[in-house]
Structure 1
């Protein structure tokens, strides 16, 4: 898979949460250890793909309007196992601390998928969302890609699917 394919996979991972991103990124790190891609291209591709997914989520929520975006967020939260009370509190926090939350939730499994939808619901500044999210995504991605790479290099006999768990 070329860097463009990694970006496409990151977009899909962001929009269709079937495979946890940490598993995807550990597998990418394992591929990097095998010499499939250079590290800078991997991080850049994954970040670009994830941010395109964020922008798509933002656009969908913004286009749906307040009622439609709220319904989408509530359904997404239930699907992800999050309480609606928790979600509503986070939406209110997001209204006042967009950059900090956009950065911080990128480091939190599951919740990271909802940030662009909250931003779209609130019609937040998409540039600020993307800049803060990019910083968080880079940290998240680098950690898990690095873990996959380190495990593959230092524990080559370990099964890759075990590393992703």
Structure 2
């Protein structure tokens, strides 16, 4: 991924709409997670944020968009409810990389601290996309869910947007910088996933 042209067409088109476009890009990333969110955010920081004064606006817009996307998943969870929600995951979860066992684990986690579970879920790849659905199924209070999602999304979006902007301001070729940064993050993510599986296997 080396620029806006490497994003899905609808995302690159939305990115040209200013603050509203950034909000919609972040919302669509939650609803149609074709490209890893950190890739989208790094590219937006490099090629869309106009200057350092625009960073806070970009961060606010993408955080609002991420929260909006999660609220749509949350509303779907509330509408389906526990029984229909699990039935949906059984039928269609394979298309969303969400197994029934994982769904039950996510749902069960909400029996603990709902606020901090929601915050932490926003900084875990893939989980941050779908956690809102079981939150809706479990009927987590809307105010708690929205606030926690916003806080978590802010913590996730900020470093990647700033990294993208910082890379643009460096003396490295933007395309090379973007692809190198994203590749490095993918490697780290895979290493953490393998380490986590190894630790669980030893437990």
* TM-score, scaled relative to structure 1: 0.88
**Matched length:** 165
Shift of 1:100: 1.1
Choose from 102, 115, 119 the match for 1:99: 115
Q: Is the 8 A contact 2:164 2:178 kept in 1?
A: no
Q: Does 1:90 align with 2:106?
A: yes
CA RMSD of aligned residues (A): 2.2
Q: Does 1:111 align with 2:127?
A: yes
CA distance in 2, matches of 1:156, 1:76: 43
Instruction: Label 1:38 to 1:113 Cα distance change in 2 as closer, same or farther (>3 A).
Output: same
Q: Does 1:138 align with 2:154?
A: yes
Gaps of 5+ in 2: 1-15, 184-203
Q: Is the 8 A contact 2:119 2:151 kept in 1?
A: yes
Larger Rg, first or second structure (1 or 2): 2
Gaps of 5+ in 1: none
* TM-score, scaled relative to structure 2: 0.73
CA distance in 2, matches of 1:71, 1:161: 40
